[in-house]
Amino acid sequence: MRAVTDHEPSISLTYQAVGHRFERRALFAGLSATFQRGDVVAVLGANGAGKSTLLRITAGLVRPTSGTVDLRAGERRLTSAEHRAQVGYAAPDTLPYRPLTVGENVAFFAKLHGVTPEPDLLDRLGLADRVDQSVSELSSGYVQRVRLALALLHRPALLLLDEPGANLDDAGHQIVAETVALQRSRGICLIAANDPRDIAHGNRIIELGR
């Protein structure tokens, strides 16, 4: 599938009256907003407010109980398959394949996306010297970097980062900052976080639970 960002400057993300509930407990309701290329959106809220769920809904992994989420390239609304293909998603509830090496994970997901990763991707994320290391042998901080690599390798139009600074040292936080800055030029980025360093990247805000 072609990368929307390479050809289409007017990518946009629209929430229309989006709400979600788990059985009787309403997480959020009536969320309406539109974001354009260049927007970095900080998703804020207390624990349990639904930040991660909103990111999963935005990725197309969970269907909202009300409302719609549209990713558009110009005027055209992307199909659900096109939508998912344009998402880069890094979250604590996703993991690389632990028996595989970093390089094997990157090669596998690049093959699925039908892309060749940028040559400097692993270098940018501080993973160049870990290519042949099994993910099961990595520290949690390096696993987080691999999550970022897998989310970025197809140059997604929509980058969704759930607690991107979790388990990262100062160098790791700098990588997140550079990643968000790069995504600003490529498309839209949503960051769900409680860490002020992660929140500070946002120029727009969604605040849940208020």
Partner 1 sequence: MATASSSLAANTATAAAVAVLRKDLLVEFRTRFALAAIGMFALTTLVAVSFAVGLGAAVSVQAALLWVVLYFAALSGLTRGFVAEEDGRTADALRLAASGTAVYWGKFAFNLLLLAALSVLLLPGFVIFMGAEVKSPGLMAASLAAGCFGLTAALTFTAALVAQARSRGALGAVVSFPLVAPLLKLSIDSTQAAMMGDAAGWGPVVTVAALGGIVTIVAVLLFDSVWTA
Q: By the criterion CB under 8 A, which residues form the site for partner 1?
A: 1, 56, 59-61, 80-81, 84-85, 87, 89, 91, 93-100, 104, 108-109, 111-114, 150, 154
Q: Tell me whether residue 100 or residue 121 sits nearer to partner 1 (CB atom).
A: 100
Q: How far apart are CA 45 and CA 92, in angstroms?
A: 17
To the nearest whole angstrom, how small is the minimum distance from the Cβ of residue 11 to partner 1? 17
To the nearest 10 degrees (0 to 180), the angle between helices 140-152 and 170-186 is: 10
To the nearest whole angstrom, how small is the minimum distance from the Cβ of residue 178 to partner 1? 22
Q: How far apart are CA 9 and CA 186, in angstroms?
A: 8
Is residue 41 within 8 A of residue 190, CB to CB? The reply is yes
Sheet containing 66-73: give its strands across: 25-36, 11-22, 66-73, 76-77
To the nearest whole angstrom, how small is the minimum distance from the Cβ of residue 14 to partner 1? 20
**Sign of the CA dihedral with 18 first, then 54, 56, and 189 last:** positive
Q: Tell me whether residue 1 or residue 205 sits nearer to partner 1 (CB atom).
A: 1
Q: Tell me whether residue 93 or residue 170 sits nearer to partner 1 (CB atom).
A: 93
Bridging pattern class, strands 204-207 and 188-192: unpaired
Q: Tell me whether residue 107 or residue 177 sits nearer to partner 1 (CB atom).
A: 107
To the nearest whole angstrom, how small is the minimum distance from the Cβ of residue 114 to partner 1? 5
To the nearest whole angstrom, how small is the minimum distance from the Cβ of residue 151 to partner 1? 8
Q: Tell me whether residue 48 or residue 99 sits nearer to partner 1 (CB atom).
A: 99
Q: Tell me whether residue 68 or residue 80 sits nearer to partner 1 (CB atom).
A: 80
| Phi, psi of 131, deg, nearest 5 | -55, -40
Nearest-Å Rg of the Cα atoms of the chain is: 17
The angle at the Cα of 139, spanning 138 to 142, to the nearest 5 degrees, equals 80
To the nearest whole angstrom, how small is the minimum distance from the Cβ of residue 94 to partner 1? 5
